[in-house]
């Protein structure tokens, strides 16, 4: 009985295909109809990465129509694309590509859903979102723990001058969640609660980035007088 979870099986198959030669992949591509859904998806990604195209060497007869079984809803959820970060320069995009290529996690950049940085046609200066399939999110989150962007997003000219948006210091995403407040005001004289003798200590805010999972603490939102 196969005890592998879908994510583990997906990564195992992807690694197996990366170790195969081009000729072996082309032979397997002519037989992909016999593969599982995960195997077909991993094979297609590897063929695309190498720029290989499978062409049948025999003229096949048109198959008879086969009744289609209803799709498994769980597959749709597994393949749903989720954004893990936004990159603002070519070098940051290349860094993300390297981090995701190592564990063999397919990714899609920009609205064109490019599977490699060289295929991105969007302007990085406007921000390019990087998305992966939902099934690979746990592994992608672990890989992105080593992401250190070199270029921060530009400030939006229309933002309110009185408040600066909180962004993740690691991936610069604006998808930030406030966790809790640490610290409070204390009094200089413990025997009195007179506000006149109170000494204010700056509160500390704890944040979590919903994109890369990074956690940090700071003094909260900065307001200009």
Q: Do residues 132 and 108 make contact, with C-beta atoms less than 8 angstroms apart?
A: yes
- The verdict on 138 and 84 lying in the same domain is yes
- The verdict on 180 and 141 lying in the same domain is no
Q: Note the pLDDT of residue 6.
A: 62
Asked whether residue 195 is assigned to any structural domain, the reply reads yes
Dist CA 147 CA 212 (whole Å): 9
Q: How sure is the predictor about 96, in pLDDT bands with cuts at 50, 70 and 90?
A: very high
pLDDT digits (tens, 9 = 90+) for 21-40: 888 878 877 877 777 776 77
Asked whether residue 71 is assigned to any structural domain, the reply reads no
Dist CA 109 CA 111 (whole Å): 7
Q: Is the pLDDT of residue 121 over 60?
A: yes
- The verdict on 38 and 85 lying in the same domain is no
pLDDT digits (tens, 9 = 90+) for 187-219: 344 444 444 444 445 567 778 887 788 888 876
Q: Note the pLDDT of residue 24.
A: 82
- The verdict on 219 and 170 lying in the same domain is yes
pLDDT digits (tens, 9 = 90+) for 53-77: 877 655 555 665 655 555 556 677 8
CB count in 10 Å sphere of residue 28 = 18
* DSSP, residue by residue, 93-141: HHHHHHHHHTTT--EEETTTTBSSGGG--S-GGG-EEEEEEGGGHHHHH
Dist CA 131 CA 80 (whole Å): 10
- The verdict on 119 and 170 lying in the same domain is no
* DSSP, residue by residue, 23-63: HHHHHHHTTGGGS-HHHHHHHHHHHHHHT-----SS-PPPP
- The verdict on 172 and 223 lying in the same domain is yes
Q: What's the domain count of the chain?
A: 3
More confident residue, 189 or 147: 147
- The verdict on 11 and 42 lying in the same domain is yes
Asked whether residue 37 is assigned to any structural domain, the reply reads yes
| Residue 46: domain span | 6-50
Asked whether residue 114 is assigned to any structural domain, the reply reads yes
Task: Give 197's DSSP letter.
Answer: G
**In the beta sheet, which residues pair with residue 204?**
182
Dist CA 217 CA 197 (whole Å): 28
- The verdict on 119 and 178 lying in the same domain is no
Asked whether residue 99 is assigned to any structural domain, the reply reads yes
């Amino acid at each position: 009985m196969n005890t592998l979870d879908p994510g583990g099986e997906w990564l195992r198959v992807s690694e197996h295909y990366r170790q195969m030669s081009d000729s072996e992949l082309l032979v397997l591509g002519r037989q992909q109809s016999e593969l599982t859904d995960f195997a077909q998806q991993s094979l297609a990604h590897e063929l695309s990465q190498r720029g290989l195209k499978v062409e049948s060497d025999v003229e096949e007869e048109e198959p008879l129509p086969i009744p289609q079984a209803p799709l498994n809803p769980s597959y749709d959820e597994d393949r749903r694309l989720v954004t893990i970060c936004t990159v603002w320069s070519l070098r940051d995009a290349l860094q993300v590509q390297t981090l995701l290529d190592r564990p063999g996690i397919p990714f899609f950049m920009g609205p064109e859903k490019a599977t490699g940085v060289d295929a991105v046609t969007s302007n990085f200066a406007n921000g390019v979102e990087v998305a992966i399939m939902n099934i690979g999110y746990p592994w992608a989150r672990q890989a992105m723990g080593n992401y250190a962007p070199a270029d921060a997003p530009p400030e939006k000219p229309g933002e309110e001058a009185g408040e600066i948006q909180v962004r993740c210091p690691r991936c610069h995403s604006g998808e930030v969640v406030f966790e809790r407040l640490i610290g409070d005001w204390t009094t200089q004289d413990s025997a009195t609660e007179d506000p006149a003798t109170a000494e204010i200590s700056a509160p500390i805010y704890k944040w979590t980035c919903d994109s890369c999972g990074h956690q940090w603490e700071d003094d909260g939102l900065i307001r200009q007088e």
